[in-house]
Structure 1
Amino acid sequence: MRNLTWLLGGTVFLLASCETYEGGRRISSEGFIKELPEAVLAIAAPYQDLTAVRIDPADGCYVYRHVGPVETTFLPLRSVRGRPICTQLPDADTDEAATG
């Protein structure tokens, strides 16, 4: 009986941890953004897969899932000019403003 209680309790916790909550942002269960902002759609280069995009927590930039012939990886989402699309200014700009 005790083992059954632990098994049922553990199952509930495992199932509860499968879904993430991102505080009002429209994120799918895989962690991808369901609807990109219009500004991002307007400047994103056309050759990228915009159905599987998320924000990289390390730098705040958008990344998209690239499915290649050998592996699937995440690449920076780039503008038509080739620059990465980010949600915040790079740290280098803030460092320059503080020192200069």
Structure 2
Amino acid sequence: MTRTGLMLAAAAFALAACDETTQSAGLGGPFLSPLPDNIVAIADPKQDLDAVKVDPVDGCLVYRHVGPVETTFLPLRNKQGRPICTRAPAETTPAT
């Protein structure tokens, strides 16, 4: 492989690592800005409330946790430890 080919492969690899977790919470960003006061009031203060968004899978709020190894999204929890969701969980009916 030529030097140019290696450079292009390295550039493509570097760009593939960019995702929404590295984006700011500015206008049009993926995060709720500003966070509603009622959510701030019930959320556990140990969580980062600067980068909160709604998980499209279950409708619950998640926040960006920056750890020593990786940055990931964790469920936003209230002071009692329960997740904060925008809709009630679907009821499961027992199979008959």
Instruction: Please tell me the TM-score bracket, short chain as reference.
Output: 0.5 to 0.7
Aligned residues: 70
Return the TM-score normalized by structure 1. 0.63
Aligned-pair identity in percent equals: 57
**Gap change, CA 1:59 and 1:28, over 3 Å in 2:** farther
Paired with 1:28 and 1:64, the residues of 2 have a C-alpha distance of 18
- Residue-by-residue CA offset, 1:23-74 (whole Å, 9 max, x unaligned): xxxx743301111122111100011000000000000000000000000000
Alignment of 1:1-100 (within 5 A): 28-91=27-90, 94-96=91-93
Structure 1's unaligned 5+ residue stretches are: 1-26
- Alpha-carbon distance, 1:83 to partner: 0.3
Output the amino acid matched with 2:55. D
Q: Which amino acid aligns with 1:80?
A: K
Alignment-mate amino acid for residue 37 of structure 1: P
TM-score normalised by L of structure 2 = 0.66
- Greater Cα offset, 34-43 or 60-69: 34-43
Runs (5+) with no aligned partner, structure 2: 1-25
Secondary structure of the structure 1 residue equivalent to 2:92: helix
> What SS does the aligned partner of 1:80 have?
coil
Moved over 2 A (4+): 27-30
* 3-state SS in 1 of match to 2:53: strand
